[in-house]
Amino acid sequence: MKIRVVGWTYYDCYDFKEGDGGWAVRMAVVDEIKKNGYLFSGWDHQESWYCAPVFNDGKMRRFSQRGFADIMAEAHGETGYMDYASYMFGLDPAHCIMPKKRATKSTVVVEKNLAETFTLEADEQFFKIVPNKNAYDVFGHKVTKRAIQLPDLPELRYIEKGDTLVLTCNGQKATFLILGVDRGRNLSFEERVDLMSRMTYSQEADVRKKARQEFEAMPLFLTLYVRKRRKND
């Protein structure tokens, strides 16, 4: 999705409609923070002037305090369990770097047709079996939709609902419409409960530390819910 941040407004501004969230939106905010070196809290996102992002689709996005803190943590390279907590509130104002590019109805140029096509080369074995429609666990949920599961590849960072994925293999290609996207560690519900319990509730510090290391060492996966592209899509 060709989504990007074009400016900032305040959380309670009603000049802009609120758009849908999603991973592409999150990545766009992360990249905008990195690009400009912004540093402010989830509290600032909700309570300070010009800390709510506006995008090139003409819509703003609001996040929970915790949700925005998690985005800020990722933008600063902190992706461990509970790293977001440092960015929820209480940052020293003297060290904060706030957005200066303000968005107004008159300055935001609304862009349309933001969906894009992502092309990926697949090996023959993978090409033959996707998409899979069997019931299986994805991040703790039973899934029976057609889904393609991949490593969390950098080239698919902005893939989102409404985009197109083209898989190619030895001159063949299969084209899919993206219906939804999940990113996460591929744990069953039982595995997730066990791990979170050890990380959070164990009375032994060594057990909590070991569980946290185990969790953070797990690779991230990308699950794309898809259907074959139709001619009239």
Chunked into runs of 10 residues, the chain (233 residues) has average pLDDT values of 98 96 97 98 97 98 98 96 94 96 96 97 80 53 72 95 94 92 88 91 93 90 86 64
Cβ(166)–Cβ(175) under 8 Å?
Answer: yes
C-alpha distances in angstroms, 128 versus 60, 122, 231? 41, 10, 22
Phi-psi region of 156 (alpha: psi -120 to 50; beta: other; left: phi over 0): alpha
The β-bridge relationship of strands 164-169 and 147-151 is: unpaired
pLDDT of 160: 98
CA 77 vs. chain centroid, Å, equals: 15
pLDDT of 135: 43
pLDDT of 139: 52
pLDDT of 136: 47
Nearest residue to 166 (alpha-carbon basis) of 127, 130, 117: 117
Can you give the three-state secondary structure of 145-189, one letter per residue? CCEEEEECCHHHCCCCCCCEEEEEECCEEEEEEEEEEEEECCCCH
pLDDT of 131: 67
The β-bridge relationship of strands 221-228 and 147-151 is: antiparallel
pLDDT of 36: 98
